[in-house]
């Protein structure tokens, strides 16, 4: 289980969202690239880490509008694009929004659909996590469900061994990943994947709930800003 960073010292590490502008990253948070690994059928299986990106500035700024010519970094294109970055994502607790899938054996799988970024790890060509839960009396199915849940970048899916127990979270590094997703049309730029309970502050000063896995929009078109809602997957976006 990942440590609960809510009580840890942050050493100045945080993400502050600028009004109609970029993500301002404080505290020398590592920035890397990660790409989906998919099966021969195009099913997302896991994440592969790529290069570590140089962040010589402190703080550094990451694109939120989708127009930067230097992605994932901001180049101030949001000003010319007249970007509307109004944030509407719920600042409440995910525990108050999620539902538990019925039928789980030795596992309780929960889903907060408002966090979903449509990354695809929750299903394959034959089934999906919700359907698989009712077969988790089979330990091999249960293990597969756990793996699928833990690879969900948004944290929309979580699990515990018993209902009412604390969620078990993957032990993820405190970092930001500029992701690449694989679609039938080829690779596309995915969301910024923030891991390790990094504090995120909205442009109006309100904090988002601190979570181990957060997918932030960087195409500029999410209807759930600042969170990714999968809109980029419907776009012919150029890989950064």
DSSP string, 165-214: SPPP-----SEEEEEEEEETTEEEEEEEEEES---EE-TTSPBPPP-SEE
Nearest C-alpha neighbor of 48 from the set 59, 37, 64: 37
Q: What is the pLDDT along the chain (240 residues), one digit of tens a residue?
A: 334 454 456 889 999 999 999 999 999 999 999 999 999 999 999 999 999 999 988 999 999 999 999 999 999 999 999 999 999 999 999 999 999 999 999 999 999 999 999 999 999 999 999 999 999 999 999 999 999 999 999 999 999 999 889 999 999 999 999 999 998 888 999 999 999 999 999 999 999 999 999 999 999 999 999 999 999 988 754 444
Phi and psi at 148, nearest 5°, equal -65, -40
pLDDT at position 42: 93
Number of domains in the chain: 1
Nearest C-alpha neighbor of 130 from the set 140, 115, 138, 141: 141
Map tokens 């948070």 to a residue.
29
- For residue 98, give its domain range: 1-240
pLDDT at position 15: 98
pLDDT at position 7: 45
How many of the other CB atoms lie within 10 Å of CB of 114? 16
């Amino acid at each position: 289980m990942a440590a609960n960073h809510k009580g840890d010292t942050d050493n100045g590490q945080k993400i502050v969202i600028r009004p109609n502008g970029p993500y301002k990253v404080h505290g020398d948070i590592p920035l890397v690239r990660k790409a989906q690994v998919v099966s021969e059928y195009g099913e997302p299986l896991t994440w592969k880490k790529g290069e570590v990106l140089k962040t010589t500035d402190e703080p550094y700024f990451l694109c939120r509008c989708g127009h930067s010519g230097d992605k994932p970094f901001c180049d101030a294109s949001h000003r010319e694009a007249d970007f509307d970055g109004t944030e509407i994502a719920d600042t409440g607790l995910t525990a108050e929004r999620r539902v538990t899938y019925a039928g789980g054996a030795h596992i309780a799988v929960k889903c907060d659909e408002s966090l979903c970024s449509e990354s695809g790890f929750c299903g394959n060509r034959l089934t999906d996590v919700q359907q698989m839960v009712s077969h988790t009396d089979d330990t091999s199915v249960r293990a597969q469900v756990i793996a699928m849940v833990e690879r969900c970048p948004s944290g929309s899916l979580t699990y515990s061994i018993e209902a009412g127990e604390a969620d078990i979270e993957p032990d993820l590094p405190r970092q930001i990943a500029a992701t690449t997703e694989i679609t039938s049309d080829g690779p596309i730029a995915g969301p910024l994947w923030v891991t390790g309970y990094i504090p995120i502050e909205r442009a109006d000063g309100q904090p988002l709930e601190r979570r181990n896995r957060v997918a932030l929009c960087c195409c500029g078109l999410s209807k759930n800003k600042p969170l990714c809602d999968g809109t980029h997957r419907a776009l012919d976006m150029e890989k950064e």
